[in-house]
Amino acid sequence: MMPLPPLSTLNGTGTRLLGLRPQADGSFFATAWDVRAYLPIRPLSRHRLRLEGVETRMSSLGASLLVTATSSLVVLEETPLEVGEVWRTRLLGWVAAPLLVFGPALIVSGAWQWLSEFSVAQGLRDTQLPAASLLGAGLWASVCGMILADRQRKALERLDRARQSQE
């Protein structure tokens, strides 16, 4: 069995787990990827893993509450790379994530000319256009953040349910 490569990134470059797929027994499948600028370059290996020794600590930091969770990954088995999972990870990393990040800027810059002509035709001042653009970009970022946070929350709930059913 090939060991799990060291998982570490510095400024988006290194090795990280992507394509996590939780299983009913509390384990999950994940693929170790070589990443550059947070973009998946090539898959290294795929493993079935289990989190062990999850420890949560809470401490106060001034007026803030700091929560730290530590755990260790246990490799249960090495599995062959799945072509569909590799392409799905590449699609998410190279297309979907950049669109989420740069989408508002692309939309605003591409539509800027049309919006300025439209605003002049409607009698709006030029100073109102940047404010509307910033509001739209902020709304975009907020909605994307809520969607991603909800997906992460649901994935963690599935892992917790699987872990509780195992006990």
In sequence order, the β-bridge partners of residue 64 are 61
Confidence (pLDDT) at 22: 84
The contacts found for 156-161 with CB under 8 angstroms, 24 or more apart, are 158/22, 159/22, 159/26, 159/28, 159/51
In sequence order, the β-bridge partners of residue 59 are 66
pLDDT band of residue 11 (cuts 50, 70, 90) is confident
Average model confidence (pLDDT) for the chain? 78
Q: Among 10-14, 45-49, 112-116, 127-131, where is mean pLDDT lowest?
A: 127-131
Angle at 88 between CA 48 and CA 35, to 5 degrees: 75
| C-alpha to C-alpha distance for 33 and 103, rounded to whole angstroms | 25
Query: Coil, strand, or helix at residue 161?
Result: helix
pTM here is 0.61
**pLDDT (mean) for 90-99:** 86
Cα dihedral angle (79, 81, 82, 85), rounded to 10 degrees?
110
For residue 90, pLDDT beyond 90: yes
**pLDDT (mean) for 18-46:** 90
pLDDT band of residue 124 (cuts 50, 70, 90) is low
**pLDDT (mean) for 2-10:** 82
**pLDDT (mean) for 86-111:** 80
